[in-house]
Amino acid sequence: QVQLVESGGGLVQPGGSLRLSCVASGNIFSIDDMGWYRQAPGKPRELVALISNGRATNYADSVKGRFSISRVNGQNTVYLQMNSLKPEDTAVYYCYLRRGISYWGQGTQVTVSS
């Protein structure tokens, strides 16, 4: 079993920044990918950013140049630095880990509003 605990969500004004954190625990040997997805009301869950075990990264076009994903293997932690936030970034953000099968965190709300 794998447990994922997210933190760092909240309310921020447009143009502001937030940093999300996700700590993985449990059976976390040989992780394939870690990353973040998000789901806005009435919309399907979508990829935000992924980082592989080899540190290759993949971003949604909508966040390229604004968001940055990083991973600290020794701490089994993945971060999402979000800058220049826009109202359309408002969503529940879910931590994701793939180790053969996929695991999900419970989500953290990010609201971008003035």
From the CA atom positions of the chain, what is the Rg in Å?
13
Angle at 19 between CA 17 and CA 23, to 5 degrees: 170
The C-alpha atoms of residue 102 and residue 30 are separated, in whole angstroms, by 13
CA 17 – CA 22 distance, rounded (Å): 17
How does pLDDT run across 12-71, given as a tens digit for each residue? Answer: 999 999 999 999 998 888 888 999 999 999 999 999 999 988 789 999 999 999 999 999
- For residue range 69-108, list pLDDT tens digits in order: 999 877 689 999 999 999 999 999 999 999 889 999 999 9
Asked whether 51 and 69 are in contact (CB, 8 A), the reply is yes
